Structure 1
Amino acid sequence: MTLHTLPTLPKRMLAAVMLLVVLALTLAPQAFAHATLEKTVPAANVKLAESPPFVELTFNEAVEPSAGSLEVVDSKSNKIKTEEPVLENGGTTLKAGLPKLGDGVYSVSYHIISEDGHPISGSYAFVVGNPPDWKDGETFATQASNSKGMQQNLLYAVRVLYYAALLLATGIALWSVFIRRPSESLQSAFKRLSLIGMRALLLTVLVHIFLQVNELMKGQPISSWGSLFTNTTTGRAWLELIILVLLGFVAQRFKERFVSLLWVVLLLGVESLIGHPAANDQKVLTIAFDFIHLIASAVWAGGLAVLLYVWYADRKEAGRFGASFSQGALISLAVLVISGVTMTLLFLPKLSYLWLTTWGGLLTVKVVLVVAVLVTGTLLRLRMKKNGFPAGSLLKADAIMMACIVAIAAVFTYMSPLPPNEPYNFHQMGEDMHVTFNVSPNVPGGDNTVSLHVWLPEESGAPKSVILRLHSDSRKDAPIDIPLVKDDSEPNDAFPGYISASYEATGPFLPYASKWTAEIRVMDQDDNELVRETAFRNY
């Protein structure tokens, strides 16, 4: 081995380590999916006559089997000793047996992790018997949602900082590769900003992961945290992300450009594998465009940070670097627009869904800001052609808009792009009839439980017949007749002077996403037909 070959060994070793990290993530069993709670047993806020035998949570996708918790507590916050929670139905249902519960208000809280790395938590209340201090379950649900909202806002704030640090660190690394012979002033800017970006990235990635793990493992001993990072796909992905960030400090010590380029590709590649792109049906295509989107974002964000730094330190150098940046920024913004539009089309089955979610609203704001950035960039180029260096006011405006776009991107990449399907509940009072109609979980293409309760005046007697039909507003198919079965259980609500009748059916009654109209036809003993209609939709 000659002295000439020695420097290549650390480079090859570093490259091998980074490739092994990503290979381990790629070969790990992955089924990333943004799980959402679809159904609970007992149902939220229900009042039961007897103790339920178990608690059951059903999600739309499989959840991680080796992490999380499910707890039941009474109205005095005493924990109920349940059986060990188990996963059923291919990992989509979490179930725990219950001891016999006395009269009281009970709350169920869960902390699980979906396979795209999102900790999911929530709680709801149900009532057994007739406790003397009974309160509506909505009271407890609201308190839980407020607590969850504060935690979610903190997570979003850290996510914004992490996303900004990620783009800053990788963007500066890319520009140090692009600029072949940087001046001493530019080298100083790269070195200074790269160190700031790497430190910020390490800090934010650790805090970001800690907050998610802390939420997920709430109530469990710290000793059990290790199993999360070794026995779950998401935990291993988080661990590998930390390792790659640490390797970035080592990569900075090498002057060879390919080491920095390899580190950027692997880090942004791992980031693309964690989240919504990997949960989409067209997984490979969405991940590829998300990776391209991240690369373009890094080029623009990192270059703008360097230009701002140099503008304050050396105006002449700012003019020289500004020429390269304006060209690179124009290309990166074009790539951002193309990749962003493509991912939106891949995510959404209908563009109209843009106006139905917070995700779509934030994306709309982001598009407006990108257009404003294009205008600002054009003005910057014109100013540089005229005076040789960029205008400070335009640079600051561009930086502010970049910060807003990064913040929006960090938040909405953590949100579901599709509108949520929620159980539908309808209740209507009337002198001739009261009606309650429920559909749960109200999802297209799967089994839904339909329940119908009617109350007729005592003088009218029990219903002679009850017909329930579902009409699709988007298709002119024949209505779907629901095969109702008489349910002998008494409804929770009782109305003096009225006779109740309950019906239920379970099956694939909603074959596709649509706006639906439920037509309820009740015939009393005198052959008087009473008709009620209510509209709901799913996505």
Structure 2
Amino acid sequence: MKKHINRKLFIFVSILFILLIPHQAYAHALLENTSPAQDSQLETSPKEITLTFNERLEKELYSIKLFDAKGERVSTSATEMSLDQKSLIQRLPELPDGTYTVSYKILSADGHPVDGSYVFSIGEAISQTTQMNPLDSGNQETGTKTIISSTISIFYFLLLLLTTGWILWGTIKKNENEVIKKNARKVVHILQILLLLSVILMGFFQLTNLVNSWSLVEIWSILSNTTIGITWIVSFLLVIVGFLLLHRKKWIDVLWVFLLIAMESINGHANAFEPPIVTIAIDLFHLLAAAIWAGGLFYMVYFWRKQREHVKEMLPLFSDIALIAILLLIVTGISSTYLFLPKLDYLLYTDWGIMLICKVAIVLFVIIAGGILRYFMKKKKESSIGTMLAIDFSFMIIITGIVGVFTHYSPVPQNEPLAWSEQDEAIEFTTSILPKIPGNNHFMVVADAKAEGIEIKRIALNLTFVNNPDIAPIQVPFEERAPAKHVEYMIDGQYLPFAGKWTAEVRILDSEDNEYVYHEDFVVY
């Protein structure tokens, strides 16, 4: 019967692991503003290109390159970074009229590479804008590579928590039984070997996303000058040193665990948000609590069959400490979410948020399972205790899998350019807002009159802030154009001053004074 239950649990957890593997990995640092704007038409040559991102960038592996219509690079000056590490600046020489492509590469503070391109023109219109495409290509992974890197990430987190948690429990309660001590040392040695392997694999796949060529100079530059590289080296050395120093002094074991988990906290989402010292500290305590719960649970499950009396003796202590750890996980998790997200309803708009909601639901099941386990402990029902430990362990693996996949997603929803098209018997038009963020944007309406002999006389674009009806609609001040069958209206300006829900209204007046009105709802994050 027990084997049947365990087999079902294994199948259930395996299916969930497969579902957890992301089909696509998303970049984290998002391009918020560009100058010149995407698809803009300038009268004179700009003095510089400025790209502004939503979070701090690494001080290495960033560049802006400008290419002319022939694909030749036209500026070779060094790319500069602002003091707050959120903007890149490229000084430009005097540029002749023509179409230019801006191509950029950056490394976000949480270790994810991002690249992208956009187009602007000087002195002449762009024949057909790229407004349908987002600004960021995001250096996205797909297919087999994503599955492999995600699997490695999941098992790395699992091994990190199990290894550090097991070692922490060794400092909490001392075992006098030589057989148990020998088995415990054997298990932790295996965990250390597997953890070392997962750290090496994690480093390799992270490097594959960062290097352009596998030269020693470039590899060393990444390892020595980026947060992701430095934390990986320290983690690797800590795991190696662990084979020599662990199990000698309790304070050394605790310090080793603290430092190893700290490296993971520094190299993640927490490092990309403000203030980093607070977000990293919260994440550190979150992972420590997770390690105590996961490691202790693994200890209970491992020794349940062969050393049941020992486990029964430890269960009350584990139950109390695990409850405190779960409560700490909830408090630190809520705190991180509050710091990461400007609004809690953003949880519904990202894969990160959906996965967090699933994680919270499973944590609630863990709390219920813990309550049932305490009840069976009080009633001394050994077979039921073993079953509940197995169920709790399965929940732990699922949660760890979700955490392992978190690194592939951004907590903050991405503002994608608005590309809104409509057509009917009389009018065909496209409206674009780039990059569609609070603040400065590029607004464009391109329209055609379909009826013979009819021209477009005027176009108005009004923006209504749905979240506050006290704010009157904002009119985008397009310049007047001579009536024509095909017209293009465009302007740059701060006509989306707030994040929230908006409605765009396009009013088109033709040469016979017929007015056509269209509406489109969108959200600015």
Counterpart position of 1:535: 521
1:487 and 1:145 map into 2 onto residues whose CA distance is 40
1:459 and 1:502 map into 2 onto residues whose CA distance is 19
Single out whichever of 213-222 and 154-163 deviates more from structure 2: 213-222
SS at match of 1:515: strand
CA drift at 1:434? 1.4
Counterpart position of 1:5: none
CA drift at 1:285? 3.2
CA drift at 1:97? 9.2
Residue 374 (str. 1) matches residue 367 (str. 2): yes
Question: What is the aligned counterpart of 2:225 among 219, 231, 244?
Answer: 231
Residue pairs, 1:49-64, within 5 angstroms: 59-64=53-58
Counterpart position of 1:443: 437
Q: Taking structure 1 as reference, are residues 231 and 413 closer, same or farther at Cα in structure 2, changes over 3 Å only?
A: closer
1:405 and 1:358 map into 2 onto residues whose CA distance is 15
SS at match of 1:63: coil
Q: Taking structure 1 as reference, are residues 378 and 509 closer, same or farther at Cα in structure 2, changes over 3 Å only?
A: same
CA drift at 1:119? 2.8
TM-score by length of 2: 0.79
2:288 and 2:399 map into 1 onto residues whose CA distance is 15
CA drift at 1:84? 5.2
Q: Does the 8 Å contact 2:114/2:138 carry over to 1?
A: no
CA drift at 1:237? 2.7
Q: Taking structure 1 as reference, are residues 341 and 403 closer, same or farther at Cα in structure 2, changes over 3 Å only?
A: same
CA drift at 1:116? 2.0
CA drift at 1:334? 1.8
Per-residue deviation, residues 418-474 of structure 1 (Å, max 9, x unmatched): 211101101111222211100111111x311111112124522341x3222110110
Q: Taking structure 1 as reference, are residues 80 and 225 closer, same or farther at Cα in structure 2, changes over 3 Å only?
A: farther
1:82 and 1:303 map into 2 onto residues whose CA distance is 60
1:264 and 1:186 map into 2 onto residues whose CA distance is 22
SS at match of 1:447: strand
Counterpart position of 1:461: 455
SS at match of 1:249: helix
TM-score by length of 1: 0.77
CA drift at 1:96? 11
Residue 208 (str. 1) matches residue 194 (str. 2): no
Q: Taking structure 1 as reference, are residues 61 and 279 closer, same or farther at Cα in structure 2, changes over 3 Å only?
A: closer
CA drift at 1:500? 0.8
Residue 354 (str. 1) matches residue 352 (str. 2): no
Q: Does the 8 Å contact 1:111/1:217 carry over to 2?
A: no
Counterpart position of 1:277: 270
Ranges in structure 2 where 5+ consecutive residues have no aligned partner: 1-26, 121-129
CA drift at 1:481? 1.7
2:50 and 2:269 map into 1 onto residues whose CA distance is 26
Q: Taking structure 1 as reference, are residues 525 and 118 closer, same or farther at Cα in structure 2, changes over 3 Å only?
A: same
Q: Does the 8 Å contact 1:189/1:310 carry over to 2?
A: no
Q: Taking structure 1 as reference, are residues 461 and 378 closer, same or farther at Cα in structure 2, changes over 3 Å only?
A: closer
Letter in 2 for 1:87: T
Q: Which has the higher contact order (CA 8 A, sep 6+)?
A: 2
Counterpart position of 1:509: 495
Q: Taking structure 1 as reference, are residues 388 and 62 closer, same or farther at Cα in structure 2, changes over 3 Å only?
A: closer
Q: Does the 8 Å contact 1:124/1:137 carry over to 2?
A: no
Counterpart position of 2:291: 298
CA drift at 1:524? 2.7
Per-residue deviation, residues 22-81 of structure 1 (Å, max 9, x unmatched): xxxxxxxxxxx941245789999x9x9xxx9999976434533432678999xxxxx977
1:509 and 1:242 map into 2 onto residues whose CA distance is 50
CA drift at 1:204? 1.1
Q: Does the 8 Å contact 2:63/2:79 carry over to 1?
A: no
Residue pairs, 1:108-257, within 5 angstroms: 112-120=106-114, 148-219=142-213, 221-254=215-248, 256-257=249-250
Counterpart position of 2:16: none
Single out whichever of 330-339 and 376-385 deviates more from structure 2: 376-385
Single out whichever of 415-424 and 452-461 deviates more from structure 2: 452-461
Per-residue deviation, residues 479-515 of structure 1 (Å, max 9, x unmatched): 1121224689xxxxxxxxx811111111222111111
CA drift at 1:336? 1.4
Counterpart position of 2:79: 87
Question: What is the aligned counterpart of 2:311 among 287, 296, 318?
Answer: 318
CA drift at 1:383? 2.5
Using the aligned pairs only, state the percent identity. 34
Q: Taking structure 1 as reference, are residues 230 and 485 closer, same or farther at Cα in structure 2, changes over 3 Å only?
A: farther
Q: Does the 8 Å contact 1:57/1:94 carry over to 2?
A: yes
Residue 519 (str. 1) matches residue 519 (str. 2): no
1:67 and 1:345 map into 2 onto residues whose CA distance is 30
Letter in 2 for 1:323: P
Q: Taking structure 1 as reference, are residues 213 and 55 closer, same or farther at Cα in structure 2, changes over 3 Å only?
A: farther
CA drift at 1:241? 2.5
2:30 and 2:502 map into 1 onto residues whose CA distance is 22
CA drift at 1:137? 12
Q: Taking structure 1 as reference, are residues 362 and 182 closer, same or farther at Cα in structure 2, changes over 3 Å only?
A: farther
Counterpart position of 1:412: 406
Q: Does the 8 Å contact 2:109/2:271 carry over to 1?
A: no
Q: Does the 8 Å contact 1:177/1:261 carry over to 2?
A: yes
SS at match of 2:354: helix
CA drift at 1:349? 2.5
Q: Does the 8 Å contact 1:438/1:450 carry over to 2?
A: yes
Q: Does the 8 Å contact 1:252/1:260 carry over to 2?
A: yes
CA drift at 1:325? 1.6
1:449 and 1:352 map into 2 onto residues whose CA distance is 27
1:484 and 1:222 map into 2 onto residues whose CA distance is 54
SS at match of 2:420: strand
Counterpart position of 2:12: none
Single out whichever of 61-70 and 379-388 deviates more from structure 2: 61-70
2:464 and 2:487 map into 1 onto residues whose CA distance is 23
Single out whichever of 454-463 and 502-511 deviates more from structure 2: 454-463
SS at match of 1:313: coil
Q: Does the 8 Å contact 2:55/2:273 carry over to 1?
A: no
SS at match of 1:508: strand
2:194 and 2:161 map into 1 onto residues whose CA distance is 11
Counterpart position of 1:17: none
Counterpart position of 1:482: 476
CA drift at 1:354? 1.7
Q: Taking structure 1 as reference, are residues 137 and 417 closer, same or farther at Cα in structure 2, changes over 3 Å only?
A: closer
Q: Taking structure 1 as reference, are residues 83 and 344 closer, same or farther at Cα in structure 2, changes over 3 Å only?
A: same
Q: Taking structure 1 as reference, are residues 283 and 42 closer, same or farther at Cα in structure 2, changes over 3 Å only?
A: closer
CA drift at 1:149? 4.9
User: How many positions carry a matched residue from both structures?
Assistant: 479
Letter in 2 for 1:159: S
CA drift at 1:300? 0.6
Q: Does the 8 Å contact 2:113/2:138 carry over to 1?
A: no
Counterpart position of 1:433: 427
2:496 and 2:467 map into 1 onto residues whose CA distance is 13
2:462 and 2:80 map into 1 onto residues whose CA distance is 32
2:329 and 2:227 map into 1 onto residues whose CA distance is 29
Ranges in structure 1 where 5+ consecutive residues have no aligned partner: 1-32, 74-78, 101-105, 127-135, 489-497
Q: Does the 8 Å contact 2:115/2:139 carry over to 1?
A: no
2:455 and 2:357 map into 1 onto residues whose CA distance is 56
Q: Taking structure 1 as reference, are residues 533 and 401 closer, same or farther at Cα in structure 2, changes over 3 Å only?
A: same
